[in-house]
Amino acid sequence: MPIFSHSAEHNATQKEIWDWYNSPGAFRRIMPEWEGIQPINAGALKDGEETIFKVGIGPVKLKWIARHHSVIEGKSFADDMIKGPFGKWSHQHTFEATSDDITTVRDKVDYKLPFHIFTGWSKGFTVLPRMKQMFHYRSTRVSKDLERIQATSSKSRQKVLVSGSTGMIGLQLCAFLEAAGHDVYRLMRPTSKLPPDVNPEKIVRWNDLTGDIISGSFEGFDCVIHLAGAGIGDKRWSKKRKQLIRDSRVIPTQNLSKILSGLSQPPKKFLCASAVGFYGNRGTEVLDEKSTKGDDYLASICSEWEDSTVLASDSGINVIHMRTGIVVSPFLANKFGKKNGALVLFAVSLTVENGIIVLRLLGLLPENGSPIVLAGVLVFHFIGVATSVISFTTLNSMVWDTVEEVEIKTGRRMEGTLL
């Protein structure tokens, strides 16, 4: 039977590696977004625990159940596929301390394809390239996460409340914070569906349009991260849609700001989403946090959005407005019908890295209460990852591919954007 092996060195202790793998958010962090995997249950690293998820095989979603066994605390564990798309899948994970602060993670997978007698010959072009790509991604993700966690190891872990936690940024941000040891709660609307792998006890429910608290408490959080808001690029900008774009940002932010300002134990930080649309269409002008706002539709929305936090800031809470640029994901490729196109190469973007957001959250950047522009970080991640397979010129054309696809999808261009 074929065996796949992979190893990677990490600048971390054996305990740091084990703790990361054994965290609630590790499974979502370690699985590449382009695989379209849907976690159902992330089992702890204990004998008999099961990790369950759905994986796409062509147009079909199949359930994969992996049962943990042979667990040696801090050193190794294994999981066997009980149910899934392969004929066999047995995965051994070993964490070998190379020195006091360097650990080698070794993965050994004993597998068979379904109907292996007839299909095994094809593994070299059907399975192995995908496995190599996936394990390279896993190693990179572990190293990057541990690097950020180590950078804040002297700081206490925080209790964090996140709205928009089921969105592209929110899902990965919450998973990272959990992997880093933070106590993460989700702020959910009444009709919002909780991902099946999320702890249902760590939920605060509210009506974002009225400010009514349905269950849970806002008291005692160190930080609140507000990421909610209807998408601007997925539907035509009708009058009704434009009103929704505005209301889904301004009204919940006003209500949340009011709640936080009236707490007896308010958060120290309130990180509120905004967008580079604040600046309007300024051509080739170089913009930063000190630049003035624009004068088009999106600029007015972003300005009103940021002004909606005034009650929180007036009460002494440190409010930070995160002006993000374009946020993409491999999932967008499927959404726009480009399953094998340029967007698939955007494997690491703001949605999965979240670097600057986390740095600000953990106090590694100046706490001056000012806006922070994240567009530059996004471009950095694109270049840092994508140029291993494509040139910058190609990267630039890929961005315009995105623009063209959105225009086709929506039927019109949109004021204040490239779209």
Q: What is the DSSP string of 143-178?
A: HHHHHHHHHTTTSPP-EEEEESTTSHHHHHHHHHHH
Q: Which of 307, 217, 320 is nearest to 262 (CA)?
A: 217
The structure tokens listed for 293 are 């706002």
Q: Quick one: pLDDT at residue 308?
A: 96
Residue where the block lists tokens 């094998």: 340
Which CATH architecture does the domain made up of 159-410 adopt?
3-Layer(aba) Sandwich (3.40)
SS3 310: helix
- What's the number of CA atoms in the CB half-sphere (13 Å) around residue 198? 23
Q: Quick one: pLDDT at residue 110?
A: 96
CB proximity list for 305: less than 8 A, separation 6 or greater: 229, 249, 250, 253, 272, 274
Q: Which of 173, 146, 154, 179 is nearest to 24 (CA)?
A: 179
Q: Quick one: pLDDT at residue 322?
A: 84
- The three-point CA angle 359-365-370 to 5° equals 110
- Report how far apart, in Å, the C-alpha atoms of 404 and of each of 36, 338, 344, 374, 409 are: 24, 12, 16, 23, 9
Cβ(160)–Cβ(183) below 8 Å? yes
Does the CA dihedral 129-43-168-223 come out positive or negative? negative
CATH of 3-128, one of 3.40.250.10, 1.10.260.40, 3.30.530.20, 3.40.50.2300: 3.30.530.20
Pairing relation of β-strands 203-206 and 183-188?
parallel
d(CA 195, CA 200) in angstroms, rounded, equals: 9
CB proximity list for 356: less than 8 A, separation 6 or greater: 322, 365, 372, 374, 377
The structure tokens listed for 336 are 């726009």
Cβ(12)–Cβ(150) below 8 Å? yes
- Which letter, b or e, does each residue of 327-363 get, where b requires 16 or more Cβ atoms within 10 Å of its Cβ? bbbbebbeebeeeeebbbbbbbbbbbbbbbbbbbbbe
d(CA 179, CA 24) in angstroms, rounded, equals: 6
Residue where the block lists tokens 């955007």: 346
Cβ(232)–Cβ(238) below 8 Å? no
The structure tokens listed for 414 are 């949109």
SS3 112: strand
Q: Quick one: pLDDT at residue 375?
A: 53
Q: Quick one: pLDDT at residue 404?
A: 41
Cβ(304)–Cβ(243) below 8 Å? no
> CATH 3.40.50.720 residue ranges in the chain?
159-410
By the 10 Å C-beta count (0-12 exposed, 13-18 middle, 19+ buried), 375 is classed as middle
The structure tokens listed for 311 are 């009650």
> CATH 3.30.530.20 residue ranges in the chain?
3-128
Output the pTM of the full model. Answer: 0.80
Please list the ranges in the chain whose pLDDT falls under 70: 1, 125, 326-419
- Which letter, b or e, does each residue of 184-204 get, where b requires 16 or more Cβ atoms within 10 Å of its Cβ? bbbbbbeebeeeebbeeebbb
